Structure 1
């Protein structure tokens, strides 16, 4: 079917676009790989690049609750 005839009908164009989206989902998938998510996990750091620990969070919570 030539593309010029395809886009004369709104419904044919929608079905064609739906087929493209369906193909993309089938090829790539919907859910991320669990291993990739775990591999990208890093520790939290502050602006200076120092790792944040529980003491830092307690000081921050205390500062917020005083106001």
Structure 2
């Protein structure tokens, strides 16, 4: 997905990130895919994961 196309996604970040931005990741979901980008550089490269893979990663991280 190009940066221009991703500009139309509904990006969100954790409420723990605060309003200043800083060291945050932003995520956006499309059918079957989770997109991740750096909040400090939203026009730079981003990552895309199959939604099931992203959910497995989040579960793994949450387990500590």
TM-score by length of 2: 0.27
TM-score by length of 1: 0.26
Structure number with higher helix proportion: 1
- Say which structure, 1 or 2, has more relative contact order (CA 8 Å, 6+ apart): 2
The structure with the larger Rg is 1
